[in-house]
Chains A and B, each alone.
Chain A
């Protein structure tokens, strides 16, 4: 058991190092770089959650943008101040019960420290955003997860579109197509990386447990899994719902990071970006998803100047990149391999 203890120690050290680096980054870097670092974390959360659904449970879902939208809207509505809401809803009057709902203010009654109340309110808002997305995930999963393969992809894509149409039309809740502006930017580096660590912890422990093995069994051969006593439908719904929860969390953090959301933002493009990260990193590899989100996010930012040549060039390059990966290196960067301390300390193979 010394190996387990060593790994635990090393993990703690790694997290300590991460926090130290975050601290340095916060002190030294400009706002733009910090924003990119935050985006890396948010994208990693999204990619890991999609990888759970697709890479580990084998359900080709294209509904991520929909879950993100739900998370983003729930979170935004909870952290906006009543004054902001009053001035922003132009198309339709805001629902009265919603107008005065504000998580930070709710907590302000309990805690004297305003910053504490704000942070707790934000934590609450993001969690509720994730839960709302998870709830929606269950509702979606019950009908469509009986489908398999590519049909499932189209059906989930359809659901994301339906969610978008609903958001546009429910103007008294969501301010319709105008979107929400001026969302308080609570999503600091600490929050984003904190949520990323939480996501990684939950998903990695889950995948290492017997439930994770059951997910993979469902992915590899559904019929054999059923014969082995695995309730495949339950496991697909479970995996889908957990994925939806973290997608909602990712959406909520996005909202509090970029401070402006509107229904147009949550289109298929967003799902495409997450899918690209997952495919590039390797389906069925959490490590791959994290590395992929670093690489893709940074590349997306570095290639921004290319768009000045002609708008759209950047996305042309990225489509080509996706095609290149799927055609020539289908396993992505990592395949299904994972990082573990074991690899570093393993004695060299004698071959």
Chain B
């Protein structure tokens, strides 16, 4: 294989791995805290991708968007503030939101599509609200039930989201319009390395943007977890939920925050995934979801850095195995599962995780 090809595969692997890593973080955070495989996480990722697609490419009615935002705010409010009086700062954003919704609902031209940034913000917000709502409705009542009950509930939610996707968006894959600037390849010369002036590497800007944005997001998340109070509460819950509760931490809110952050990251991953592999369909979250979970196990479940490392490694394994052994391309989707079984047998606590043993 030529060096140019290898470099291109390297960039592909980096982008794919970073996306796996972003999704894996959502799994690892929830598992670290609740010991629950959030089966629905892959579908949350799908929702994130769809929301951007439907606000930019296919026109979503403004009233629907406004309704979704209103519901999202309601979820945030209900979960984080409860029935107490909302704090003062709550009102001005609400006022502006109503104003905007009013404008889009009645005065904006019918075929208006909001700018990109708004669509992304909208998607992240609504997706994280959905993540929180899923926790509130389907997982929280089962905190004291056997762990597998919550897992079955998660499977139920996963199917619900997928099939709701089929009902609302139909099961057909839809193409995503990629902005020109993101796909026009950048051409790098590699003559300095190979000595051949002809050797060029073409990389789509999106393949560079994905890892950069991911790194930025992970840095932010690590900051939240290691430098803020809610982050401290999260870490303490992952060690011992009961004691944390006794310390006066409102555990449910912290868990909701975990779901919110994880879902927001999944939404970012979904958006970037849709731009990189320009297609959305209701089952798009299933396979990346499983693979990301495997990446989380690979890296050591419960560890955020581990999830990112696991995601990147999984991306490299998938891309490079197919690149070096093209005859294996038919088995590409099986690599991750084989890897999972090998990892679970060889080192169940993953690369960076801690071993947990039952006390006798």
Contact = CB atoms under 8 A, between A and B. Distances in A.
Q: Is chain B in direct contact with chain A in the complex (CB below 8 A)?
A: yes
Interface in A316-337: 316, 318-320, 322-323, 326-327, 330
Contacts of A159: 337, 341
B164 to A, nearest CB: 6
B152 A322 contact: yes
B170, B333, B334, B338 pick with most chain A CB within 10 angstroms: B334
A16 interface: no
A313 interface: yes
B314 to A, nearest CB: 13
A184 interface: no
B286 A268 contact: yes
Contacts of A158: 290, 294, 336-338, 340-341
A60 interface: yes
Contacts of B348: 147, 151
Given A151-B344, A154-B340, A319-B157, A312 B171 contact: yes
B160 interface: yes
A279 B348 CA distance: 29
Interface string B324-350: 000000110110111011001100100
Contact of A326 (B156, B286, B360): B156
A272 interface: yes
Given A279-B152, A312-B171, A319-B160, A168 B147 contact: no
Contact of B167 (A143, A153, A313): A313
Nearest to A226: B360
B20 to A, nearest CB: 15
A91 to B, nearest CB: 12
**Of A223, A312, A320, which is in contact with the most chain B CB atoms at under 10 Å from its CB?**
A312
Q: Size band of the B side of the interface?
A: 35 or more
A148 to B, nearest CB: 9
Contact of A330 (B149, B155, B297): B149
Contact of A272 (B157, B159, B166): B159
Interface string A54-65: 000000100000
A316 B35 CA distance: 27
Nearest to B31: A150
Interface in B145-175: 145, 147-149, 151-153, 155-157, 159-160, 162-167, 170-171
Contacts of B141: 327
Contact of B153 (A149, A162, A318, A323): A323
A173 interface: no
Interface string A286-320: 00000000000000000000000011110110111
Interface centre among A161, A318, A319 (most CB of B within 10 A): A319
Nearest to B293: A154
A319 B159 contact: yes
A161 B337 contact: yes
Interface string A132-171: 0000000000011011011101110111011001101100
A268 B147 CA distance: 21
Interface in B28-63: 35-37
A143 B345 CA distance: 7
A144 B345 CA distance: 8
Interface string A166-183: 101100000000000000
B333 A322 contact: no
B138 interface: yes
A311 B167 contact: yes
B37 A275 contact: no
Interface in B264-300: 282, 286, 290, 293-294, 297
Of residues A143, A146, A316, which shows the largest number of chain B Cβ atoms within 10 Å of its Cβ? A316
Contacts of A316: 160, 163-164, 167
B180 interface: no
A162 B339 CA distance: 11
A315 B282 CA distance: 13
Nearest to A323: B156
A316 B334 CA distance: 28
A143 B346 CA distance: 10
Contact of B151 (A60, A146, A323, A330): A60
B333 A165 contact: yes
A326 B152 contact: yes
Interface string A257-291: 00000000000100010010001000000000000
Contact of B344 (A144, A313, A330): A144
A165 B138 contact: no
Contacts of A168: 330
A168 B330 CA distance: 8
A318 B160 CA distance: 8
A220 to B, nearest CB: 11
B351 to A, nearest CB: 16
A272 B155 CA distance: 8
Given A158-B337, A162-B338, A330-B149, A310 B344 contact: no
Contacts of B240: none
Interface of B: 35-37, 138, 141-142, 145, 147-149, 151-153, 155-157, 159-160, 162-167, 170-171, 282, 286, 290, 293-294, 297, 330-331, 333-334, 336-338, 340-341, 344-345, 348, 358, 360
Interface of A: 60, 143-144, 146-147, 149-151, 153-155, 157-159, 161-162, 165-166, 168-169, 223, 268, 272, 275, 279, 310-313, 315-316, 318-320, 322-323, 326-327, 330
Given A155-B341, A310-B166, 5 more contacts: A153-B37, A154-B293, A158-B290, A162-B334, A320-B160
16 contacts: A143-B341, A144-B345, A150-B151, A151-B348, A161-B333, A162-B337, A165-B331, A272-B155, A279-B152, A311-B167, A312-B165, A315-B159, A323-B156, A323-B157, A323-B160, A327-B138
- 5 smallest CB-CB distances across A and B, nearest first, come from A312-B166, A158-B337, A319-B160, A315-B163, A319-B159
